[in-house]
Structure 1
Amino acid sequence: MTTINIIGAGRVGATFLRLLGQLDGVQIGAVASGSLANAQAAVAAGGAGRAVELTDASPADIWLITVPDDCISDIAAQITAPPAIAVHCSGFKSSDALNSLADKGWKTASCHPVRSFADPDAAANAFAGTYCAIEGTAAAEVSDLIRRIGGVPFDLLPEKKAIYHAAAVFSNNFTTVIQQIALDAWREAGVDPDTAKSLCASLLTATAENVALLGPQQALTGPAARGDMQVLTEQQAALAAWEPRYAKLYEDFSAMARSLKATGSL
């Protein structure tokens, strides 16, 4: 029986509690959080584990640390249990954040699931197929555990973790920001809000499908891809007169789009 302690009972920790608690041969041990009440709520909702203060956590085979990035090293330094495996879920910090444990003989790793955890129940139900970036001395053990809950582990360079996470920001968060820019522009052009939302959804879905099928270079369309410089110039001027911030983004993205279409790189 593998015992897993979960330190951090927020959305990520609560999701893993649900997933890991269903595995044969796995027992959720201690569940600790910023407050005992949070840990108790996570245990009640997930149906596994024992809510405790961190200082009262019993030894375990694996310690899953799902706290905010800035707290990882501090939490690791407070763990006084015998050496085991410790893994955190930051997309930004490498397993080096757990060096205080590694120095005591622990095996360590970072495991970043590339998905949204807005709702633990929904995230657990949809976790199958989720890609998880894993590195560290315990990468093999953590990868095996991720496969057992339906995830897809992949390797990355720990010293490039910040750039890896920036890639996720570009792919996800900035795409969302760009959708708001499009909605603002359609509103300025007199398009009603419901139609504008439908346009965003339709174009975003088609674009995602084309990029997945063809890759960015072949999927790219629009005036920059066609080399229609008059359209680019006049659109940028119109944007500059309305919202200069958007005009600057349009200029930069258009230049990168032209390069991507012509050379395959930005």
Structure 2
Amino acid sequence: MRRLNVVGCGRVGKTLARLWSQSGALMVQDVLNPSASSAANAVEFIGAGRAVTDMADLRPADTYLIAAPDALLQPIATQLAERCAAVPHAIALHCSGALGADVLAPLRACGWSVASAHPVMSFADPASAAKQFQGTPCGVEGDAEAVAEATRALVHVGAECFGVEPAHKRLYHAAAVYSSNFLPVLQAVAIELWEHSGVPPELTRHLMERLMRNAVDNISAFGPAAALTGPAARGDSAVVAAQTQAIQDWDPLAGEAYGALSALAMRLAKTGKVGTREDTQC
């Protein structure tokens, strides 16, 4: 069984390492986090591995999962590359949706095979994410050997892998942000506006859940354009302008967002899409 070292074991790292360990896809060997407590907590959650806090304590492994924040990927790759003499060939994977495999170039330069493997799901809670992972789409790109290994390990735990064009990773990830990460923000604004309007707090959660579920069901059944409703979908620019001003008086940034989203909604209602590009690829 291939040995796995995890470098930067937060929510994504813990989820994948636990799934791979429990399924037998990979043997978790060392788990590196900045603090002893965070490393120990990660090992406890995974149910396997040895907690370490120093790069020098990592034992040679076949595969390295670098699950650190985007800004740390290249510095970590550079640090690992300094150990290439001890590990002349290995596979290194990162999970960033916005950065390509090239961010691990220092490791590629010393003979390693590198790839990015981005699971398209929310990792708000690792325990929940591990239970929900079956069927998760995963965008993969990079060197052939690393892509093959990432695909094998991910498919082993139920993922559905697909290729991503490296030059468009930022747009690819921005799409996931639009689809998932902005949803909590929009619901938070809605709840605050309802409460500001005098709706009893005990009803706001019910309103949010009902509207959100209806919207998701309609989008899934009919697609975004056909599911669109509201003043922007009807082309009622007077209502949109009045609401935009009212929200700006409440909070300027929220008002600006409402105006921009309404403009996109009007474009979607008229043309069936929000982008102005005629081609389907950037």
| Fold-level similarity (TM above 0.5) | yes
Task: Trace 1:1-266 onto structure 2 (pairs within 5 A).
Answer: 1-24=1-24, 26-52=26-52, 53-79=54-80, 80=83, 81-137=87-143, 138-266=146-274
Counterpart AA for 1:107: S
Give the deviation of 1:50 after TM superposition: 2.0
Is the deviation greater in 191-200 or in 164-173? 164-173
CA contact (8 A) 2:66 2:92 kept: yes
Distance 1:76 1:250, change over 3 A: closer
CA contact (8 A) 1:59 1:82 kept: no
Aligned residues: 266
* SS, match of residue 3 in structure 2: strand
CA contact (8 A) 2:9 2:32 kept: yes
Distance 1:21 1:225, change over 3 A: same
Distance in 2, matches of 1:46 and 1:241, equals 49
Percent same amino acid at aligned positions? 43
Q: Counterpart in 1 of 2:279?
A: none
Give the root-mean-square deviation of aligned CA atoms. Answer: 1.9
Counterpart AA for 2:58: A
Counterpart AA for 2:95: C
Query: What TM-score does the superposition give when structure 2 sets the normalisation length?
Result: 0.87
Structure 2 residues without counterparts, runs of 5 or longer? 275-282
CA contact (8 A) 1:33 1:54 kept: no
Distance in 2, matches of 1:243 and 1:67, equals 34
Distance in 2, matches of 1:67 and 1:250, equals 34
Distance 1:49 1:183, change over 3 A: same
Give the deviation of 1:114 after TM superposition: 1.8
Counterpart AA for 2:185: V
* SS, match of residue 21 in structure 1: helix
CA contact (8 A) 2:25 2:156 kept: no
Distance 1:211 1:30, change over 3 A: same
Counterpart AA for 2:24: D
Q: Counterpart in 1 of 2:278?
A: none
Give the deviation of 1:25 after TM superposition: 5.6
What is the CA deviation profile of residues 168-195 of structure 1, one whole-angstrom value per residue up to 9, with x for unaligned ones? 2222222221212212221222111121
CA contact (8 A) 2:3 2:29 kept: yes
Distance 1:250 1:28, change over 3 A: closer
CA contact (8 A) 1:236 1:251 kept: yes
Give the deviation of 1:136 after TM superposition: 0.5
Is the deviation greater in 100-109 or in 11-20? 11-20
Query: What TM-score does the superposition give when structure 1 sets the normalisation length?
Result: 0.92
Give the deviation of 1:237 after TM superposition: 4.2
Give the deviation of 1:157 after TM superposition: 1.3
Counterpart AA for 2:30: A
CA contact (8 A) 1:88 1:110 kept: yes
* SS, match of residue 221 in structure 1: coil
Counterpart AA for 1:54: M
Distance in 2, matches of 1:73 and 1:245, equals 34
Distance in 2, matches of 1:251 and 1:42, equals 43
